[in-house]
Structure 1
Amino acid sequence: MKIINRYKDTLVLFSFLSVFCFHTLFTHAADSITQGEFIKDGDTLVSNGLNFEMGFFSFNDSSSRYVGIWYYNVSVPAYIWVANRGKPIEGREGLIQMKNDGNLVVLDENKNEVWSTYLSNPMNNSKVVLQDDGNLVLSKEDDGDLLWQSFDHPTDTFLPGMKIPVSDEMKDTIIFTSWRSKTDPSFGNYTVGIDSKTSSPQIVIWEGEEKMWRSGYWDGRLFTGVSNMTGYYQFGFRLNGDEKEERYFTFRKLNESDKVMFKIDWDGYERMYKWNENEKLWNVMQKEPVNKCEFYNHCGSFGVCDMSNSPICGCMKGFEPRDKDDWKNENWSGGCKRRTPLKAEIVNGSGSVGEDGFLVQKCMKFPDLAQLVNDGNGIVHDSEGCEATCLQNINCTAYAYVLGIGCMVWYGELVDVQNQDNLGNKMSIRLANSELGDGDKKTKIWIIISAVVGVLVCLGIFVWLMLRFKRKLKVSAASRSKNSNLIVSGGIKSREFSAAFSESTEAYSLEVNKLSGPELPVFNFSYIAIATDDFSEENKLGQGGFGPVYKGELPGGEQIAVKKLSKRSSQGSEEFKNEMMLIAKLQHRNLVRLIGCSIQGEEKLLVYEYMPNKSLDFFLFDPVKQAQLDWTKRFEIIEGIALGLLYLHRDSRLRIIHRDLKASNILLDEDMNPKISDFGLARIFGGNQDEASTNRVVGTYGYMAPEYAMEGLFSIKSDVYSFGVLLLEIISGRRNTSFRHTDDSSLIGYAWHLWSEERVFELVDPSIRDSSPKNNVLRCIHIGMLCVQDSAARRPNMSSVLLMLESEATTLPLPKQPLMVTSMRRYDDVEVHTECLDVSNDLTVTMVTGR
């Protein structure tokens, strides 16, 4: 009997401990409370995925306690929402409680309400849940109907997953309000929200009632005034809905695991933070305003702010300072005034005056207070109609036709204007006819002067050539015999090459020698001009971001390819020097060989070995020629590119990141062997350097790794991403950007779609699909999917890629679904071609982006 009783006692004790432990575990992991339940100071709610935590907090040794939400398990607290921000609780006797009427409340030590959800209709079955996106949701327990959520009542932080309504009435727009100080969550002096009362929504920071900064207008891809913003459709900001429906902004993270937030900080600056787990700190990824010109209307009406100028403020063309003394003292608040009145402003109509016209200004941050034109039948749909509309209204000061927005016009003074290099905003400013005429006259005068000078120069050259020709006629027959071994190449005598090369070589090569060293031969410009038949159109091979490329032939019969730096090139002298110095030091069978260079004044040339089969894209994306690339040849090309990249990353005496690997930069020799070319954008890494950042993102849309395009971070893994895109293009015979009008948006998205449905062999180019070894092809697709992973850490390095390609015994990890499925800044049906920066399918581009 005692044994039985002892067993019962043990069982009861075990049951009690089990219930107690289970209750403790449940309490710790709880993400919700229901009516009648409460949370004491010291206890917390934790979201189901362990992303966010809710409870009481304070600063330092302060007795003031607040109820808030913060990122869970982060060593540097980041409070994203505060309930009782204006009414702190003194001491640690506060409670968070679900009342019987269905409201969530915060009670102080005397059980007085200091904060509530203030539901007007009592509920007897509600509960509150802390969700994994940081949203605190109050809903009905039986059917889940939403009653209240913290995302509708934010404090100072915008999180991915929030919806910010876009309304014509500011009172309906969510406003984020800064803290008063770093340790005081009460209402501060700065607010940020969406201003949509004008032509298109824009983000605005206010200091009290005054605007402090604005983002510029949303054009369907990005905010036009933010210089470091990139327009990616699958992540970043997006405006959902249309004018007839509720419209709202959302933000999508590049990687779902990232801890990201936007804050209007207590000092008035809006910052984007991202948690760095390795360094245990919050990195500032973006900050606005970023400089003096970003502050609202810094140069006054009709003034233009430009950080590249000194002083930074200037007047628009046709305008002058209102107060020249203030302007000299760098007090620009008064702005500028018209130098010549418009036709309608002429008093009593005295004087002969022509019609007003427009001056086009490029690379501008559009002025504030634009109005969207509607002609009664809808928005004006072309630039000509926009100009006509502005001309018909005497109060219209300027207009701009913008893809994604439509026709914008400005009335009265133009405020908050900024010059933004590398952005494509273009607007037309109304000026008096005489202001436009002066410019036309000056232009005509310069054209006439240039023409006269040009004729004189041509005559001088002609006379000089005639004199040289007469001297050549006097050369003795013996001398001609002595040089009889000089052959005629391409219809031009080799003697002319010798003469051209010998003349003034010393003068022109001095600058080059300082840059290139003894490893790079220097050619005289005239020597190369003769070799290319004076850069004739017949010898032009193509056009790249650097400039045109010409075919030529040296006296010995060696064929060459000459890259000529264009004055309008998106690349410049730095890229020229970079490529010249880098490639001269690199020697590998899968890298194009640099023969020499030439500099004469502004004329800059790079001379390469000639590749008779042009570039890979010439064959790969041509429906007829791609059949010449069977699977064996394509695999050899893939392997050759991988070997070339491995040499750059690991085996060369310099560690090189190419940064612009794409099909058009893979040249093919007479045996169709691949050679990597175009090192103008490459960067050298130190021996222990793994990653670097830049404020100048360069590369080609469709090939840039997400972390590089969005954050300016680049490494050898950036090249791996580009290689992955190229590998998938080689297998499929299709450009990454050819899917932009499909549901998959990109080749990467299409490949993942087929992969997830186990139909990935359908990715293979139909011209070779039936003749290709299935297992080998599938393995290469698998490798390509690993190379285009969103996270750089998940991508293999090139040595691993080669091992995977060459050894089928190597086990391949499974790829994760890529979020980045497009790399084109685009509209639904219009390719973007900016005025200040030419962007096309396969053109190298430069963007300014910040970190």
Structure 2
Amino acid sequence: MRTHSKNPVFVSLVPFIFLLYSFAQFCYAATDTLRQGKTIRIGDTLISENNVFELGFFSPESSSFTYLGIWYTFDPKAVVWVANRDTPISHRNGVLRIEVDGKLVLRDGNNSSVWSSSVTGSSNNAAAKLLDTGNFVLSRDDSIGHLNRALWQSFNEPTDTFFPGMRVPVCSKRGENCAYRSWKSPSDPSPGNYSVGVDPNGGPQIVIWDNYERRWRSGQWNQQFFTGIPSRRNNASPYRGFDISQPDESGTMYLTYRASTANLIRIQISWEGREKLSRWNNSTKQWDYLQSEPDPDNECELYNFCGSYSTCDQFDSRKCVCFKGFRPKSQDQWDARNWSGGCVDHGRKISNLIIVIVSLVVAGCLVATLWRYKTKLKGLSAVSSKLCCKDDDVAVFDVSKSKSKEFTTDLLRPTDILIDGNQVNGPEVQNFNFSCIATATKNFCEENRLGQGGFGAVYKGELPGGEQIAVKRLSGQSGQGLIEFKTEIMLIAKLQHRNLVRLLGCSIKGEEKLLIYEYMPNKSLDNLLFDEAKKAGLDWRTRFSIIEGIARGLLYLHRDSRHRIIHRDLKASNILLDAEMNPKISDFGMARLFGGNQNEANTVRVVGTYGYMSPEYAMEGLFSVKSDVYSFGVLLLEIVGGQSNNSFRSFDHTSLLTYAWQLWSEDKVIDMVDPCIRDSCSPNEVLKCIQIGMLCVQDSPSQRPKMDAVVVFLESEAATFPMPMKPTYTSLRTAVEEEYALDGQEIESSNDVTVTTIVGR
């Protein structure tokens, strides 16, 4: 039998083949590119082409957390970039991949994303490459390594290290400095207290911040180097490799660095707040620290270490010395070696005191002089106003004793104003001299007329002291005017509320009867609401505020004042607006006062304004608080719709109320909202207001809410209230009424209803 011995050549090649296979495996594993479909897990790394940088997972000393980072292949401890510094991975489970949308995503063991690259455009064939510059670049697979086509690069999201090849934006227009932030500690790469960057304000300079306080600055850039670098650094200093480009089209400049030698250079903001410049020593296999800013052995390099007007010398035992002619601001702190307070002018402290004393004396004299002058002027103004406006010869009228509608005039004490035997004047209501009021209104000239009411005109006036007033001049031939005059003084003198107009006083001279009110610069509500050119200025928030104010004013009249008062003539022309558009109810000439237990009254003489009167008042002469509620409902719907109930009826032969009910029943109620506010109003608030308005104009008084419920409805977002029923009275009118409504004249109906024109004050 023939036997074969082992081939000695084959045996000798086995170790070589094994080594060749191992080297091939190593070359295959040591790739610099991550492509879609591939992953990097714990233990896997990318290595740049010339074996300079390595990317993978690492854990700092004394730390149980894992991070994705980049480090030098020859010094794994020199980490230059960290991806998930804010979100570490526990339990050493992590994977990096390029997902289908082209983003680099780092996930933990629970498959939760802990970091991803900020890609502006997606790509389904992306790849990421680690370059020899230390830049990790994500780009499309056909343009790997081309920075001008990069989808994302780590150089744009640096951590604590700056090295050659980086471009730091310096945005002088926006003041951005794109700072590098230190680690929190040697074992914690999360953002620490210190940062370094370029401050473009004034002139570009490198600055180290301790949180938001300056710790060190290099000095300004002079187109060659940073001027504040200490003189011991010569032209061969590594700090001479910086350059700042010219502004591009967006006004952005870029800080770059080019090393003067072939050695690897690294600039890092350390966790203790120092900018360390290092160079790799290939002979000793370690980093040589070339510079540290600020120098740990030189406190004088700390920003503003000695404060203002002082100099710092590390070789002087005193360390900080004030400039000549200056002294420490606080000697105690200076002796305690706390120099941060700085120095002040030696003579400025015995001089500052003198300046302060003299300034106080002069200021005191000026204040005293101005005070005396102002007091004198005020006294003169008050005397002038009193002499001109306060009538010492008080006109007294007593309706109960007068057989005619004229006033009786006698001379009584200046404090007496009598109405039906009752004294009603006091500090709230003054008796004004008629001649003074005539002068204040320029003798009631037409240019001062604010409006025309049913019982007379209203004029703007100005008292000698500068106070602006509104004067209602009642018609001397109107018996109704006399009653209104008496009622208004008796009632409004007792009322004090921010949503009621304030009566300042009255003036009586023969047939002349004047009521003096506070002046409302924005006039009456109808002047704005029913004017096509002005109504756009009433936005929804203003209208809703006006509705709330009117409701609170009525609630005060009905419930919260000393006497229950029924207004009986609530309408848009009787709502005045102050400078802040706050509504104030005015014109109490038709108001009635109720007793404590009285809820309803009857009159044979019905007066009011057609379109605002409740059915029971117009047809039966019955009035109560619910009569005012009806008028409020009409007014509310007018404010929402931006149309007058009367003018609406005259054009369409119907009323705003029937129109509102038609839209309500068809679920189209939003169509009645004023087009000026339809796109900007709150739909929920508008619908709530319309529903409240519809409830207020119910035919039966018992179905209308009281004003306290209305206020609750308006101010509450969760309140529920009943659904309204179809009103029937709104369609009732006669041919005679329509004729006079169109003419805008006063009439007296068969049941003694008076219709007045709607005009602004």
User: So what's the TM-score if we normalise by structure 2?
Assistant: 0.45
Q: Which has the larger radius of gyration?
A: 2
